[in-house]
Amino acid sequence: HPLLPAAVVAAYLGMVSQGPKYMATRRPFELRAVSRCWNIGVAIFSICGATVCVPHLCRALYQNGLWYSVCADIYELAGYGPPAFWATLFTWSKLFELFDTVLLVLKKRPVITLHWFHHASVIGFAWAAWALNGLNSEDAACASVLLG
């Protein structure tokens, strides 16, 4: 649904704004093990997505050139197999990745502008690309490697 990312981003920005105020009179949570497991899980997920999408991107670049890999019809480009599956997982994962900000707030760590802006804008990009044309595996490959 097109309103889902907007609602999630609005709630997220509310949490970024109000969470530190809520935690101001509370002790920080000790979430070292949770943070470690979370970060390892995100890293494994990104590596798995990159191992599927990056070879697909390289093959498209080698066989058809840059124009095709950027401008071709999404269904021709990503297909219906593992690259399309991982591009879809990538889009949905952006919602779950907001959990790292929750961890920062609960540990009373600063949430810098770059952090929250990155999460909010990547959700907007990923969902808009998916809703309007379908997120292609090249988008997911680049984002998995660059944005993790």
Its sign, for the CA torsion 33, 34, 40, 41, is positive
Q: Residue 116, Cα to own-chain centre: how many angstroms?
A: 12
Alpha-carbon span 34 to 6, nearest angstrom: 27
Catalytic choice (1, 115, 118, 119) = 118
In 3-state terms, what secondary structure has residue 24?
A: coil
Q: Read off the amino acid at residue 93.
A: S
- Is 118 an annotated catalytic residue? yes
Question: Which residues have a Cβ under 8 Å from the Cβ of 82 and sit 6 or more positions away?
Answer: 52
State the Cα–Cα distance between residues 84 and 91, nearest whole angstrom: 11
Q: Which residues are catalytic?
A: 118
